[in-house]
């Protein structure tokens, strides 16, 4: 009985794969390396000392996906195979809707065909749009997403709700990630954005390493304590552990559709992040204040109480861990090259 991880070679997928293997679970990874590197698979094996089956396929390819279900007994699926770059999604809406939504439909249809009805979905705090209130609880209104990427998450959540309504023998868990950062403590796997990063932490790391000149802080006139945007940064290993708890929940509780925020419950501003990074790593992060970025909100952080009460999960890593581990990964890459 194996857990299938489409997109398991990616940033969050690979960290979750490690946690699953270390918990003694059997996994099967499928990935087409559209936003990941084959090297990651070897790193997962080195870190855990464990082996797993891998298929280099696109999860949208129905016949190839069916073969995976024919050749393995898949009991549950955690879907990481989504495109996730906000800016790119604005330029390439068809690609985003096709990969994220059509891909999810092929996957869910195939699962149904093989009687596999346990599904964990990587959603995002982006589904809350402009927050109804802070901290965000799972019952806050959703909608009003400002880019196709966010809209794919919103639509897939709706699709999952409709599937569950039509057939309540499914077990579905929707995990709304806040802002994942950091890397595995080994320094062997981490986030590898292609080209110039859009997200804050990968950008900070590249300024600190000298690859990029300076960070542009997008706006210092928000209604926040220091005027810069506030977010709920969560260590990717904490996030990965949340998936194990979600799996336990749907295996134990039986039928249901569950939604959880995976965040720390603490908001940090862009300037907080810069200062924490400098203090933790001793590296300088040059920055300038730039205009606000279109579509950004002032403040976004989670109320993580529901996940704590119902999953027994909470984030334990500190802001220093997030900064140090992000930096270690980068420093390790430089050392390796
Ligand atoms: N920021 C900068 N300069 C940069 C990059 C970011 O000032 O170069 C600021 C942003 O304005 C924002 C904060 O840093 O205030 C965080 O920005 P990110 O791009 O790292 O993250 P976002 O909160 O915009 O978006 C992230 C993910 C989305 C996800 C969302 C969920 O990228 O996929 O969190 O809340 F949907």
pLDDT beyond 70 at 335:
no
Q: For ligand 1, pick from 131, 196, 215, 218 the residue to mutate: most ligand atoms within 8 Å of CB.
A: 218
Q: Cis peptide before 135, with omega less than 30 degrees from 0?
A: yes
From 217, 180, 204, select the one nearest 302 (Cα to Cα).
180
Residue ranges of alpha helices (H) inside the chain are 11-22, 39-48, 62-71, 86-91, 93-96, 103-113, 148-166, 200-208, 236-253, 270-281, 305-311, 319-336
Q: What is the CA radius of gyration of the chain?
A: 19
Q: Is 118 in the pocket of ligand 1 (CB under 6 A)?
A: no
| Confidence band, pLDDT 50/70/90 cuts, at residue 264 | very high
Token digits for 39? 């090297």
From 225, 206, 337, 220, select the one nearest 288 (Cα to Cα).
220
C-alpha span between 76 and 249 (Å, rounded): 12
pLDDT beyond 60 at 330:
yes
Q: Pick the residue with more confidence: 222 or 333? A: 222
Whole-prediction pTM value? 0.97
Give the tens place of pLDDT for each residue, 53-82: 999 999 999 999 999 999 999 999 999 999
pLDDT beyond 60 at 259:
yes
Average pLDDT in the chain: 96
- Centroid of ligand 1 to alpha carbon of 219 (angstroms): 12
pLDDT beyond 90 at 192:
no
Give the tens place of pLDDT for each residue, 220-241: 999 999 999 999 999 999 999 9
- Centroid of ligand 1 to alpha carbon of 198 (angstroms): 7
Lowest mean pLDDT among 118-132, 201-215, 248-262: 248-262
| Confidence band, pLDDT 50/70/90 cuts, at residue 194 | confident
259 near 138, Cβ under 8 Å?
yes
**Which neighbouring-strand residues pair with 122?**
175
Q: What is the torsional sign of CA 84, 85, 90, 96?
A: negative
| Confidence band, pLDDT 50/70/90 cuts, at residue 185 | very high
- Centroid of ligand 1 to alpha carbon of 200 (angstroms): 6
């Amino acid at each position: 009985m194996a857990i299938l991880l489409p997109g398991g070679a990616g940033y969050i997928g690979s960290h979750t794969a490690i946690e699953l293997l270390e918990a003694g679970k059997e996994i099967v990874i499928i990935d087409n390396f559209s936003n990941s590197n084959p090297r990651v698979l070897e790193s997962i094996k080195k870190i855990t000392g464990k082996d797993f089956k891998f298929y280099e396929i696109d999860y949208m390819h129905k016949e190839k996906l069916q073969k995976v279900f024919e050749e393995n007994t898949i009991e549950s699926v955690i879907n990481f195979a989504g495109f996730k770059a906000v800016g790119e999604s604005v330029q390439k809406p068809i690609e985003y809707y096709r990969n994220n939504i059509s891909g999810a439909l092929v996957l869910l249809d195939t699962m149904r065909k093989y009687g596999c009805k346990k599904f964990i979905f990587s959603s995002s705090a982006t589904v809350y749009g402009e927050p109804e209130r802070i901290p965000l609880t799972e019952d806050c209104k959703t909608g009003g997403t400002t880019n196709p990427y966010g809209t794919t998450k919103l639509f897939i959540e709706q699709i999952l709700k409709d599937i569950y309504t039509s057939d309540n023998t499914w077990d579905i868990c929707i995990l709304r990630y806040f802002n994942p950062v950091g890397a595995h403590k080994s320094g062997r796997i981490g986030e590898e954005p292609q080209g110039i990063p859009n997200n804050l932490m990968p950008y900070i790391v590249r300024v600190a390493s000298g690859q990029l000149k300076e960070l542009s802080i997008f706006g210092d006139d928000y209604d926040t304590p220091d005027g810069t945007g506030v977010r709920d940064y969560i260590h990717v290993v904490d996030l990965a552990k949340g998936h194990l708890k979600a799996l336990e929940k749907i295996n134990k509780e039986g039928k249901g559709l569950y939604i959880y925020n995976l965040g720390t419950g603490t908001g940090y501003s862009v300037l907080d992040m810069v200062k924490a990074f400098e203090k933790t790593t001793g590296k300088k992060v040059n920055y300038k204040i730039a205009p606000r970025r279109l579509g950004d909100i002032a403040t976004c952080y989670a109320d993580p109480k529901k996940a704590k009460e119902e999953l027994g999960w909470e984030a334990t890593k500190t802001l220093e861990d997030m900064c140090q581990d992000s930096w270690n990964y980068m420093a390790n890459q430089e050392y390796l090259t």
